[in-house]
Amino acid sequence: EADLAMHMAKGSGRNRIHFYDPAMQKLFIERVQIENELMDALTNGQIDVHYQLQVNDDGSIRGAEALARWQHPTKGFISPDTFIPIAEVTGKIQALGAWIFTRACSDFKNHIQAYADDDFVISINVSSIQIFESDFTEVILSQIKQIGINPAQVKLEITESAIIDRPELTHQKMLSLKKHGVQFSLDDFGTGYSSLTCLKNLPVDELKIDKTFVSDILLDIHSSAIAQTVIVLAKSLGLQVVAEGIEQSTQKIALQNLGCRIFQGYLFSKPLPLSEFLTLIKTIQRAQPAPY
Ligand code: C2E
Ligand code: MG
Ligand code: MG
Ligand code: MG
């Protein structure tokens, strides 16, 4: 907001805002439109949740990550990288996040579970703004209970920003959810600034190697060094480690050689609408030998 304000200046005419930069003006207008349309989009069924497969080393199904999708009637597909940050700064992430969480848990309970093993994990992204809400823990637990799923099959993907901004509060909320079995994954790991000391005390179950390191793993020695460090770190702390953004089998093999055992990426499947995801997991379970 402050950034935007700096690019704006009150014009000579009253109630007029001039933008120094037309590109900035366009961005601002887009932002306001998205902000205004977001809640309607939710009730009009424009927002959907897609599921991206996670696989184990042996090709078996490990679980899925739930990813929000917005199909706008005129603007077309709007990326969550665009609308989630807007929802965060405008206070709409609570309602949106709660809706996504409920939707993903109900899809799991009503559709996915029938084709999944008992150790299938449904991973759901939560924004740090959601975590900081006073009733975050209660809302998550009551939804899990109401929908009737095993809390141990629910994994919340958080980013380092929550831990950096409010370490004590985040820690405490994670602990109270973990008491009920809910798991935590540290998403985009390696791109933030959380210290190793922070990580040592954090009640997290999994580290996700960010896709920027995965995409460069065969090209850039630093990326592969970082991936290796995350894998070694996870192992020494007794955490699971997932590599996301795998597009090529050579990337998978490189990560496998470094000790990674859980994979996610277009190589296996893109994020899919529920019905297509169900078809995919049915197919994988019938396949002999495992397809990956
Ligand atoms: P993320 O949680 O790190 O999710 C992984 C992103 O990588 C997803 O982008 C996914 O579609 C993409 N991806 C997966 N495999 C590949 C691959 O092989 N290659 C490439 N190039 N990309 C791959 P998506 O769905 O656009 O989501 C972007 C980000 O938006 C997510 O990053 C997450 O930070 C946020 N997001 C998405 N859905 C939600 C949500 O329900 N709640 C919150 N708070 N954030 C969400
Ligand atoms: Mg994620
Ligand atoms: Mg990520
Ligand atoms: Mg992310």
Q: Tell me the per-residue pLDDT of 74-106, one tens digit each, with 9 for 90 and over.
A: 999 999 999 999 999 999 999 999 999 999 999
- Of all atoms in ligand 1, which is nearest to the CA of residue 266? 18
User: Is-contact 281 116, C-beta < 8 A?
Assistant: yes
- Of all atoms in ligand 1, which is nearest to the CA of residue 49? 41
ipTM of this predicted structure: 0.98
Regarding predicted confidence, which is higher, 145 or 32? Answer: 145
- Residue found by looking up tokens 């004590």 in the block: 168
Q: What does the pLDDT average to over 105-109?
A: 98
Quick one: tokens of 252?
Answer: 């998978």
Q: pLDDT of 194-207, one tens digit each?
A: 667 778 778 999 99
Query: Is the four-CA dihedral 200, 150, 60, 186 of positive or negative sign?
Result: negative
Q: pLDDT of 134-143, one tens digit each?
A: 999 999 999 9
User: Is-contact 176 157, C-beta < 8 A?
Assistant: no
Query: Is the four-CA dihedral 67, 143, 156, 31 of positive or negative sign?
Result: positive
CB atoms within 10 A of CB 218: 14
User: Is-contact 261 242, C-beta < 8 A?
Assistant: no
CA angle 182, 183, 188 (to 5 degrees): 140
Identify the nearest ligand to the CA of 265 by its number.
Answer: 1
Query: Is the model's pLDDT at 19 over the cut of 80?
Result: no
- Of all atoms in ligand 1, which is nearest to the CA of residue 80? 30
Identify the nearest ligand to the CA of 123 by its number.
Answer: 2
pLDDT-derived band at 108, boundaries 50, 70, 90: very high
Protein residue with least CA distance to atom 4, ligand 1: 67
User: Is-contact 47 41, C-beta < 8 A?
Assistant: yes
The pLDDT of residue 2: 42
* Distances, alpha carbon 70 to alpha carbons 65, 67, 95, in Å: 16, 10, 15
Ligand 1 pocket residue status of 271, Cβ below 6 Å: yes
Ligand 1 pocket residue status of 160, Cβ below 6 Å: no
Residue 213's contacts (CB-CB under 8 Å, 6 or more residues apart) are 190, 223, 224, 226, 227, 230
Quick one: tokens of 49?
Answer: 């949740």
